[in-house]
């Protein structure tokens, strides 16, 4: 019997899980948690959809004004 993740553990592993970078035990624990926790399920769906959108737009060059704003934010962080 595999122990289910709690929300804190699930959130800590969420991005690795969505990227397929977890072992079988972690994958099963995550799937069990997501089946029973609506809040974490919703977060996982948001992250999954966001990742899909980012991947879709990755080939579209960002406007120079946006790139400049991002550079400024990074430099002033």
pLDDT confidence of residue 1? 54
Higher pLDDT, 2 or 19: 19
Q: How far is CA 48 from CA 14, 24, 37, 69, in A?
A: 10, 19, 16, 26
Q: At what angle do helices 7-18 and 24-36 cross, to 10 degrees?
A: 120
pLDDT confidence of residue 76? 86
pLDDT confidence of residue 22? 97
pLDDT at residue 2 above 80?
no
The structure tokens 């960002």 sit at 62
What value does the mean pLDDT take over residues 14-43? 96
pLDDT at residue 65 above 90?
yes
């Amino acid at each position: 019997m595999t122990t289910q993740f709690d929300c804190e553990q699930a959130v800590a592993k969420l991005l690795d899980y969505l990227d397929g970078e977890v072992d079988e035990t972690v994958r099963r624990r995550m799937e069990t948690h997501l089946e029973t926790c609506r809040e974490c399920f919703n977060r996982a769906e948001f992250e999954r959809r966001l990742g899909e959108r980012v991947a879709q737009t990755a080939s579209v060059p960002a406007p120079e004004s946006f790139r400049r704003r991002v550079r400024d934010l990074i430099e002033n962080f």
